[in-house]
A and B are shown apart, each in its own frame.
Chain A
């Protein structure tokens, strides 16, 4: 009986030792992983800061202004002006739909166009 007890406790000690050994190495592995990830995060943070600085540098007002001037023929950008504010009521209503057309649409005579329609879009608000 006693020898069985000895054997069982010996095996238990061996088992626990093996478990502790494995846990130890698993922990060290996890810590190494954390270290690596933290370094990666730090590197990415540095990179992000660099990208932000680069973005701010490329978007500095001086440069944007010069670019707008260089590509004026393509973009036609001008500084914002008070006259560019519009009002909803300045936008013309769409023409009313032709309400009731006669059922017989056959032409009695050919259409003749006299003169020319001169429609100028009014997209600019005149300021007195």
Chain B
């Protein structure tokens, strides 16, 4: 670069010669020099700004692109995670109290079609009907050819069916994996388990949701991925359940009943060891609910929990226990039992117009099942206290068992409580409750007087509920119930070795329009065993039974429900590990003698 001098001599001299001021030349040159410097600095700064701009643009573009990529890609699991952390997207199993499986999942496949890819829809439809006879060929072909791009054909396939469909070899037929709920024991405990169905369905998976019973009641717990792989243990005992079901089914047929229910309860913990309702169904293939007629006739109806019946004379023990607990009477107090009893315009009669009066001890009132005696006892107690007592036993609220049906099975209790209600309630009429309610109440009476909350979940912790009656009253009540079996209406219920104590109940079925049928009854036997140290409560209900072996048709619980219950206890008690209480035969005793 050539440096121009500020005062070039040639120009100065010529300027002087012209008489001009040579300083202007110098100032002009200084100005030009400054402008040059300025331009250079500006160019450099611009270059730097550009560079910085490019750098920032690149940085932000790359960050933006990375963010976009992360947002757009499918999430993947970290591949180097340990296998224990793998998510099992399975519904938890249900097991019985000993860990035997009641419900589990197996992998199957569903079949769907994409008709656009189908080579020969007519042949496919024909061959599919060969594999699945329940499909309609014409309808199937119509659906293949009406222009839709997707349709479900079958929700569950067996491996054999899948192979057969595979052999058709059409690219338009596709399989999606499906998790299927399996109840390996079939109809056993069907009413407890309920059933499942598919919820939201996709090609690759489908949601399994509970539709009834404990599957629906515990749906959130069973589906929670945090609990996957951890089975839920129910309180049921599979062996006991199977035995009760077998015996009850036989008894129901023998007594020509249209339905039956049984509840076996551990009175210490409130665990339901067995819950059977007949007729039953297969939860693997749950039938559709009935659209017309009485839903109580459907096999889906759980008689033990949903069925609220007037439970008849089984209620008498509550009046007796309360009167004992209040100190109004003792078991040997004589009460007025002169039948028939007139109360206003009502006439209280005994079974077959007997008269157990004029005076009857409280114990014999239970043993002979005297309506009038129970009524007198209830009047001594009074309606307010009677209501409060039944309420504390749980007869005014739904049972707390973990079934979705339970909260809807509210007992039917009278809205007003005049004296006549007090009287009829004493012998179990005018108030309706489910066998489960009765089981809980009997357990409360028999276990020493603390409230029992029935549960279907296995619980090892014994939590004593609030005290309802004193231990002494509890003992006296059980002794009275034992009297019913040894000398009263339930003599067929005596099982050698297990000292059964219980109360029969026979209630006429109410007609739809009002009044009662005379030839339709609900028979109940509520019992606890062994009476020397009560451990279990069994409630057995038969719907419209009749015993026709004898010369006349018998419809009382003593002839129908009681023998069935006795057989249940005889079969079940050994399975529960209860030793029969007997003096062991000392036949082998050796007498030492010498001669």
Please report which residues of chain A, range 47-75, place their CB below 8 angstroms from some CB of chain B when the two chains form the complex.
49-50, 52-53, 55-57, 59-62, 65
**Are B573 and A56 neighbours in the complex by a CB distance under 8 Å?**
no
A41 CB → nearest B CB, Å = 5
**Are A50 and B106 neighbours in the complex by a CB distance under 8 Å?**
yes
Stretch at the interface among A9-17, A84-92, A98-106, A110-118: A84-92
Among A35, A61, A85, A122, the most chain B Cβ lie within 10 Å of the Cβ of: A61
Beyond A35-B79, A41-B83, whether A79 also contacts B580 by CB under 8 A is: no
**Are A81 and B584 neighbours in the complex by a CB distance under 8 Å?**
no
B489 CB → nearest A CB, Å = 24
In-complex Cβ contact of B584 among A35, A37, A53, A87 (8 A): A87
A57 CB → nearest B CB, Å = 4
Interface 0/1 of A11-54, CB less than 8 Å to B: 00000000000000000001100110110011001100110110
A127 to B570, CA, bound (A): 13
**Are A49 and B575 neighbours in the complex by a CB distance under 8 Å?**
no
In-complex Cβ contact of A80 among B105, B238, B498, B571 (8 A): B571
Beyond A42-B86, A85-B580, A89-B584, whether A53 also contacts B104 by CB under 8 A is: yes
**Are A41 and B574 neighbours in the complex by a CB distance under 8 Å?**
no
In the assembled complex, B4 has its CB within 8 A of some CB on chain A: no
A50 to B570, CA, bound (A): 36
**Are A125 and B582 neighbours in the complex by a CB distance under 8 Å?**
yes
**Are A90 and B104 neighbours in the complex by a CB distance under 8 Å?**
no
Please report which residues of chain B, range 100-146, place their CB below 8 angstroms from some CB of chain A when the two chains form the complex.
100-101, 104-107
A73 CB → nearest B CB, Å = 22
In the assembled complex, B496 has its CB within 8 A of some CB on chain A: yes
Interface majority SS on B: helix, strand, loop or mixed?
Answer: loop
In the complex, chain B residues whose CB is within 8 Å of the CB of A31: 79-80
In the complex, chain A residues whose CB is within 8 Å of the CB of B105: 49, 53
**Chain A contact patch, size range:** 35 or more
A16 to B347, CA, bound (A): 107
In the assembled complex, B28 has its CB within 8 A of some CB on chain A: no
In the complex, chain B residues whose CB is within 8 Å of the CB of A81: 570-571, 574
In the complex, chain A residues whose CB is within 8 Å of the CB of B100: 56, 59
B385 CB → nearest A CB, Å = 41
In the assembled complex, A82 has its CB within 8 A of some CB on chain B: yes
Closest to B95 in A: A56
A124 CB → nearest B CB, Å = 10
In the assembled complex, A128 has its CB within 8 A of some CB on chain B: yes
Beyond A79-B243, A85-B574, whether A34 also contacts B188 by CB under 8 A is: no
**Are B573 and A82 neighbours in the complex by a CB distance under 8 Å?**
yes
**Are A79 and B571 neighbours in the complex by a CB distance under 8 Å?**
yes
Closest to B102 in A: A56
Closest to B496 in A: A127
Cross-chain pairs A/B with CB under 8 angstroms, 9 sampled? A49-B107, A53-B105, A56-B184, A82-B496, A82-B498, A87-B584, A89-B584, A127-B497, A128-B496
